[in-house]
Structure 1
Amino acid sequence: MSTSTTAASLTDTSTPTNSAGHPAGPESLVSIDYLKLIWADARETATEPLRWDGDDLRNAGLIGGGLVLSMVFLDKPIRNDAQRNRSRSADRFFVDIQKFGTKQYGLPVLAGFYAYGEFADDYESKTVALDGLSASVITALITSSIKGVVGRARPNTGLGPHHFSPFQGDYSFPSGHATGAFAFASVIASHYDSTWVDVTAYGIAGLVGVARIEQDAHWTSDVVAGALIGGLVGHHLVEFNREMRARGIAMMPTVGTDGRELTLTWEF
């Protein structure tokens, strides 16, 4: 059995029909490429700053200023304190918990949401998986780009918090683990109006950030920047995609077969 389409490459239906076999109207389901969802999300994320008003710009300035102050006054003492208090048991715990900021744990969690949604016919659970994947891809691209440009040395190099070598291969700022963890957390929390979901999701994400400091892989400001990027992008994409779905775009995968090949399509 061959795979005719994948999650990243899907087919378009030129003459869609509805469930009764009649030509589909604007509200009907037709197959689309899932890449279109990610592209729409990426474009929305990239152009969002162009739509900022005075309040948004002021908030961005305050956040940027806070990160600079953190670099100047907090990064080194927090790092030193974290390293003085390391222990074997803490190391074992944080080595495991930090994996929630990577695809190693993050993608299985999203797959679990989708599998549950399919089994229990839970639409919200499915959209968590789709939005989480989109946020993961986009925040990874953002973080990788910033890392290369900034070129900040990691704390375990011994070069200090103010050592920057742009485009020279130093990749401390921002923390990719924190970005990924808070992207996943913000997507999950934005889909469910529940305090315990918020506390659990952001609590785990926060522990990922602490782990990166405890493991001497990142400065505190690296983690804060990653948390802001992941949290803001994840939350914004959920709202953006919810708006699209409210207009009739569901972007939901369907598995089927034509008798010869397994097909995977996303529909709206």
Structure 2
Amino acid sequence: MRLFCFCLLLCFALPLQGQDQIYSQRKNTWQNFTYDMGNVFGGIGHSYSRPFHWNGNDWANFGYLSAGTLALFFVDDEFDHWVGGFEDDVPDLLVDYGNEYGSPENNYMITGGVYLVGLFTKNEKLRRTGVLLISSATAGGFLQQVSKRIIGRARPRSGDSSNVYDPFHIDRVRNYDSFPSGHAMLAFTNAYAIAKQFKNPWVKAGIYTVGLVPGFARIVDGYHWISDVAFSTVLSIFIVESIDKYLDSKYNEKYNNQAKAVSWNLSFGPGTMGVALRF
């Protein structure tokens, strides 16, 4: 943790220079690696500094996220009870996959593998994807680790209701570290970043679905409430979009030329509430 904090502070100290041309393809593998790692830490720092540069739309999106999460807080216990009614019918393979895929060690094996393939094949597009995956996962992972220690929300499997908290612990307290969901955040961060490689909406939808499985598995297994998973999923989108914009100025290869924006549409009706997230 201390090493990570040191590296994070180091990224803010790196000099920023404007250039007419982006020199993201270096002469040798070591130069490419050091350049990319600088962009990993630069992307993390960029994502953390964004709230200081938000405009009206950004604050509106944050308000929608907060309001949506708060709305789910009121149905967390009921949703958990409903899931318990079919928990035994969910295939063990699906739950095991969700729990394993979203774990930090497996996450970095995948993201690191993507990056190393791009590095050694000198594929800038794949290198950039790897940098996006690693920096987004690290930014989200560090944020959720700190948050869950501060918030100290009870997990469903603790036996307490969703409104029980044991906050402000430096060390994690077992079964009181529910919000937010690290598995959901890491898994959907990967899915969202990888889906950027494709334009076909059906391919994107398939990748998103795979990325949502760990969050669902954590709910079924009693590790998280629906609000934990929903908040973490949407926050992962914001983090990836922020770092992706930063990387536009660092790499010539741009796999996603469309405008990078996230918009919301809330709709209400008798006994219903709908949220549309467009990205």
Aligned to 1:47: 49
Question: Where do 5+ consecutive residues of structure 2 fail to align?
Answer: 1-6, 8-20, 254-279
**Which residue among 170, 175, 182 is the counterpart of 2:181?**
175
Matches within 5 A, 1:210-221: 210-221=216-227
User: Is it true that 1:29 corresponds to 2:30 in the alignment?
Assistant: no
Aligned to 1:261: none
- Distance change in 2, residues 1:89/1:48 (3 Å): closer
- Structure 1 residue 54: Cα displacement: 1.5
- Distance change in 2, residues 1:69/1:214 (3 Å): same
User: Is it true that 1:95 corresponds to 2:101 in the alignment?
Assistant: no
Amino acid in the other structure paired with 1:52: W
Q: How many Å separate the matches in 1 of 2:215 and 2:234?
A: 12
* Structure number with larger C-alpha Rg: 1
Contact 2:76/2:226 (CA < 8 Å) preserved in 1?
Answer: yes
Q: How many Å separate the matches in 2 of 1:67 and 1:98?
A: 23
**Which residue among 192, 203, 216 is the counterpart of 2:198?**
192
Q: How many Å separate the matches in 1 of 2:91 and 2:41?
A: 40
Q: How many Å separate the matches in 2 of 1:69 and 1:26?
A: 44
- Structure 1 residue 29: Cα displacement: 3.5
- Structure 1 residue 125: Cα displacement: 2.3
Contact 2:46/2:242 (CA < 8 Å) preserved in 1?
Answer: no
- Distance change in 2, residues 1:90/1:172 (3 Å): same
Q: How many Å separate the matches in 1 of 2:109 and 2:198?
A: 19
Q: How many Å separate the matches in 2 of 1:236 and 1:102?
A: 23
Percent of aligned positions that are identical: 22
- Structure 1 residue 239: Cα displacement: 2.4
Show structure 1 runs of 4+ deviating over 6 A.
Answer: none
CA deviations on 1:147-194 (whole Å, 9 max, x unpaired) are 111110101111100011211432100000001011111211223333
Q: How many Å separate the matches in 2 of 1:39 and 1:46?
A: 11
- Distance change in 2, residues 1:106/1:200 (3 Å): farther
- Structure 1 residue 88: Cα displacement: 6.4
Aligned to 1:258: none
Matches within 5 A, 1:241-256: 241-246=247-252
Aligned to 1:131: 132
Contact 1:185/1:231 (CA < 8 Å) preserved in 2?
Answer: no
Q: How many Å separate the matches in 2 of 1:179 and 1:26?
A: 31
Normalised TM-score (structure 1) = 0.74
- Structure 1 residue 116: Cα displacement: 4.8
Amino acid in the other structure paired with 1:36: G
Amino acid in the other structure paired with 1:94: V
Q: How many Å separate the matches in 1 of 2:178 and 2:156?
A: 8
Matches within 5 A, 1:112-127: 112-114=113-115, 116-117=117-118, 122-127=123-128
| Corresponding residue pairs, total | 224
Contact 1:186/1:235 (CA < 8 Å) preserved in 2?
Answer: no
- Structure 1 residue 109: Cα displacement: 2.8
Higher relative contact order (CA 8 A, sep 6+): 1
- Structure 1 residue 242: Cα displacement: 2.3
Contact 1:181/1:205 (CA < 8 Å) preserved in 2?
Answer: yes
Q: Counterpart of 1:244 in 2: which secondary structure?
A: coil
- Structure 1 residue 195: Cα displacement: 2.4
Question: Where do 5+ consecutive residues of structure 1 fail to align?
Answer: 1-7, 9-24, 248-268
Q: Counterpart of 2:91 in 1: which secondary structure?
A: helix
Q: Counterpart of 1:135 in 2: which secondary structure?
A: helix
User: Is it true that 1:224 corresponds to 2:230 in the alignment?
Assistant: yes
Aligned to 1:38: 40
Q: Counterpart of 1:87 in 2: which secondary structure?
A: helix
Q: How many Å separate the matches in 2 of 1:173 and 1:139?
A: 13
Q: How many Å separate the matches in 2 of 1:117 and 1:159?
A: 46
What is the Cα-based RMSD across aligned positions, in Å? 2.7
